[in-house]
Amino acid sequence: MFENYTVDLFDTPVQLREGGLVENAESRARGSAGDDAGLWTMGAFHADDDHAVHSDVWERHPGGHEVLCVLSGAFRVHLRDHGDGTEPVATLTAGRSFIVPAGRWHRLSVAEPGDLLSITPRPGTEHERSEVRS
């Protein structure tokens, strides 16, 4: 439980659990194994460049949709093609959100340095290296 109700999401993500429970993630490593059924992690981070958003790594979350909210700056959400050779890209600016469908491979890149808030389902998350084509 929280010792207080103030959390700096840039420093300490929170975990959203089934039943409306919220757990301070300070004592747990991000993406750690364990009983993560029904778990989403909500956190914020600052990104100055593509390295900060692991733009060379595709990821997908079979356990649910991921919500990406741009607080400042601008970010690109790249979606893996469906075999037609195209890579759809959405550019988001401050105040805009993108909902990544469950199981959809995606990666991020920085269009303008800024802050991003993510609500990410953790169960079953997969990562795969990519040849970057920003």
State the pLDDT at residue 22. 87
- Listed as ranges, residues in the chain with pLDDT below 70 are 1-4, 26-38, 132-134
pLDDT value for 30? 45
CA-to-CA separations, 108 to 28, 38, 98, 124, in angstroms, rounded: 24, 24, 11, 19
Answer for the pair 78, 108: CB distance below 8 angstroms, yes or no: yes
The structural domains of the chain, with segments of one domain joined by +, span 14-28+37-129
Determine the residue type at 35.
D
Q: Do residues 55 and 109 make contact, with C-beta atoms less than 8 angstroms apart?
A: yes
Residue in this structure with the two tokens 């300070």, named with its chain if needed: 26
> What's the length of the chain?
134
For the domain made up of 14-28+37-129, the CATH class stated in words is: mainly beta
